[in-house]
A = this chain, B = another copy of it.
Amino acid sequence: MTHTFAADSVGLVRPEQMHFDEPLELECRRVLPQYTLMYETYGTLNADASNAVLICHALSGHHHAAGFHDAAEKRPGWWDSCIGPGKPIDTRRFFVVALNNLGGCHGSTGPTSIDPDTGKPWGPDFPMVTVKDWVRSQARLADRLGIQKWAAVIGGSMGGMQALQWSIDYPDRLAHALVIAAAPKLSAQNIAFNEVARQSILTDPNFHGGRYTEQGTYPRQGLILARMVGHITYLSDDAMRVKFGRDLQSGHFHYGFDVEFQVESYLRHQGERFSTAFDANTYLLMTKALDYFDPAREFDNALEQALERARCGFLVVSFTSDWRFAPDRSREIVNALVAAGRDVSYAEVETDKGHDAFLLKIPEYFRVLSAYLGRVADQLEEC
């Protein structure tokens, strides 16, 4: 094969699977007897295994964060703009690990996997997993990979929540946490949007209590609606105005319920694309994990107290037009870190791109990431 990739691409990558036979006791008190995690790595682990960084994914993410699975793949991994030689997460310096979380639908054990007890897909019987459970399963993956301590745990949105939980649950196992476009817990409005998304799926007549696979069907409409609602919260009002305004598909009103405004067409397309690529039971689980996330809960609802356990350095990043997890929510984290006496840098990036900004190559944002991670790598190499 003679295909060449850009010089700053990690190029061809291969997903790998790690199987765990040790049972994992979950926060919900149920036990996962065994499980598999799908992951990818980019770059090279150094001799003392000190240059590893963990990428935690958001609601609809997975292990394929950078590069291409084959030369014909049209789109690279979901964070390819940020991961590669010379990019902010520089694979010449770091060994990058990205995984699909437990409960996912991209190769890690989840609702679409076979329940060994029944020989059938878990479906709705898959146990509820939480951010804390994910972090615990990620720590086991680190053990297997011979990584005692991450140089950094990095994530945006739900991924940022995992980075935060890492700092509390395994204070000695990470040097830095990069918490991007996240929140210390969901607001009532955040939960409300998740609930609408869940109800869309749960009430789809093709959902069949989550046993759609056995019924040979799929709650496609429910997932489309769920994604449409979600997508509105990912974009800012300004970003939508710039992207679509009130532009009409056909140039004039046609007084009917077909697609008329471009924003309608975009949303339906996003919903439809998503519905073909994502498992409905997984979507339900992931939104619930978001709702449950509240690390302060175990500490008398005092986030500061929770973060007193942390030992790592923190970079917190927010985006001005993000209304899903607005800058105020990041400042709650920063204020608690400061009150807890932790080492924290905070950047509020000016952009009209809304919550989605965390996935985009925004110059100021990438400069902040590069500068912070450059110092992290410098320190490692000085040691």
Please give the residue numbers on chain A whose beta carbons come within 8 Å of chain B beta carbons, in ascending order.
Answer: 27-28, 127-128, 185-189, 191-193, 195-196, 198-200, 202-203, 205, 221, 224-225, 228-229, 232, 235, 237, 240-241, 243-246, 253, 255-257, 260-261, 263-264, 267-268, 284, 288, 291-292, 294, 323
Query: B225–A203 contact, CB under 8 A?
Result: yes
Closest chain B residue, CB of each to CB of A230: B196
Query: B267–A195 contact, CB under 8 A?
Result: yes
Chain B residues with CB below 8 A from A255, complex form: 27-28, 127-128, 288, 292
Closest chain B residue, CB of each to CB of A128: B255
State the number of copies, please. 2
Chain B residues with CB below 8 A from A246, complex form: 185-188, 191, 294
* Interface SS of A by simple majority: helix
A326 to chain B, nearest CB (A): 8
A184 to chain B, nearest CB (A): 11
Closest chain B residue, CB of each to CB of A328: B237
Residue among A196, A205, A257 with max Cβ neighbours from chain B (10 Å): A196
Chain B residues with CB below 8 A from A191, complex form: 246, 261, 263-264
A-B contact pairs, 22 of them (CB 8 A): A127-B255, A128-B256, A185-B246, A187-B241, A188-B237, A188-B244, A188-B246, A189-B235, A189-B237, A191-B246, A195-B228, A195-B261, A195-B263, A195-B267, A196-B267, A199-B268, A229-B229, A255-B292, A257-B284, A257-B288, A260-B291, A261-B291
